[in-house]
């Protein structure tokens, strides 16, 4: 949570999603926190199946 608050404090609001994603990736890597960016999940909703 601290990383996210720090990013918000530095960037504020109004940027596109990709800017925040890049900042989060940077901070997680800097902190040696394992993550997978944009992992694909299979989701079924009613008659729709998305992969």
Question: Rg (Cα) of the chain, in Å, rounded?
Answer: 15
Q: Tens-of-pLDDT digits for all 51 residues of the chain?
A: 899 999 999 999 999 999 999 999 999 999 999 999 988 888 888 988 776
What's the whole-model pTM score? 0.74
Segment (H or E) for 48 = strand 48-50
Task: Provide the pairing of β-strand 48-50 with 43-45.
Answer: antiparallel
Chain centroid to CA 47: 28
| Chain position carrying tokens 């008659």 | 47
- In the chain, the largest separation of any two C-alpha atoms, in whole Å, equals 42
Cα–Cα distance for residue pair 33/26, rounded to 1 Å: 10
């Amino acid at each position: 949570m601290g990383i996210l608050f720090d990013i918000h404090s530095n960037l504020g609001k109004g940027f596109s999603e990709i800017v925040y994603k890049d900042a989060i990736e940077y901070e997680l890597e800097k902190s040696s926190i394992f993550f997978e960016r944009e992992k694909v999940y299979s989701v079924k909703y009613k008659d729709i199946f998305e992969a």
